[in-house]
Amino acid sequence: MKNNENLVVVHLSATAVYVVIGNVVSAKDIRILGVGQVKNSDFYQGQIKHRERLQGAIKQAIQEAEDTANCRVHSVWLTLATPELSSKNSAGEVKVEDEVVRAQDMVQALANAKSRDLSSDYYLMHCCQQGIYVDEQDFMVDDVIEMMAHNITVMYHMMMMPVASRQNIQKLLQSCDVGIDHIVFDAVTSAEYSLMTEERQQGVCLVDIGASTTSICVYKENKLIFTHCIATGSHEVTMDISADFGISMIEAEKLKKSHGTADVNSVDPSAFFLFKPQGSGDEINIGIYNLARIIEARYVQIFTEVARQLHEAGLIGYIDKGIVLTGGGSTIKGMIPFAKKLLKMPVVLTNTHPAISAYNHFDNDESFKLLNSQVNDRVYQTAFGTLLYSQSEQFRRSEKVNLKRFKTIEYQAYFGVRVNGLQMF
């Protein structure tokens, strides 16, 4: 393999820690070297619930990925969702000296936008450049370096989180002996994996339903124009089932997956099955229709809030391609007909991405088969999307004004030399 760029991604969710190590050959060729997954519920709705247990899960997931990829990790891209997210479309205006736009003008534009819209108690987690107005032009361009201009106005979509939360996460990762290269809102990386260029251009909303949160992002004319994170997810569905039937959360989760559906209209109202709760000698009748009504009620709440956010932002008319669903909470039976009927717009589930593949660097077929099956597992899509995002035009444009430029990680297969994020053996 050539000395290509290698990246490590840590995705924190409410149910597990996911780690992916990928060799990035190009935007169309990303080869997964190793993955790690450790179940953990101590990062809930963007908050660290039990630091020591979460630290152990991160270390273990990193170790699993390291062992598969035969490397050591030193720095990572981190992707997460948090209802503390505060997002805003902002602008930075700059008067151009010598009438030629330089890199420092772009840096100053971002600084001006931050000084106007970033409060002292918030940290700029992630920023996407939308475009640039030059002088009095009424249309945006993507790049103005070395162009003649008197003034430029750079438009941004800024995603911010509280400084204290950012510091807690940074300290947590440092305690796992890794640094953070970038923090990215998980809906943006999921969108990179899930959305087609045509959808982004015509207008589309990605809805990522996780266990404890539902993340939203909207694209129009290939630009990110809206992000939001709702503090509700599929875990509440499981809680409702557990409470209504008087069974454990583990049993409720199994029931949801095996017999549940969000589409009440597809269920026979007279159908039922017998279920024996753990530790009980008595079986109980579970009505499939009743189970579906419980599930439907919670998903109605989630999608009603999604629709409310889009309406309040004035975005419904911009979403010509409708909704693309991703995340574990979107995989329940009957989701598509339910969501189409409720939202009255096109709704589809995300598919696998052709650029992501397992790389066979093993000396046995079984190890490669296992990695290949993991690459096709939906739970890694957000992390894979981060690898794709690192190669996107959106990221490259935004990084031109980042004073802490991302450093390439070189692949050194035969030397035990630490190079930025990885040490390869």
Q: What is the pLDDT of residues 200-220, one digit of tens each?
A: 999 999 999 999 999 999 999
pLDDT digit string, tens, across residues 333-353: 999 999 999 999 999 999 889
Handedness of CA 80, 85, 87, 93 (dihedral sign): negative
Give the per-residue pLDDT at 118. Answer: 96
Give the per-residue pLDDT at 50. Answer: 97
Give the per-residue pLDDT at 421. Answer: 60
pLDDT digit string, tens, across residues 365-397: 999 999 999 999 999 999 999 999 999 988 988
One-letter amino acid of 222? N
Across the chain, mean pLDDT equals 91
| pTM beyond cutoff 0.85 | yes
Output the DSSP codes for 304-360: HHHHHHHHHTT-GGG-TT-EEEESGGG-STTHHHHHHHHH-S-EEE----TTEEE--
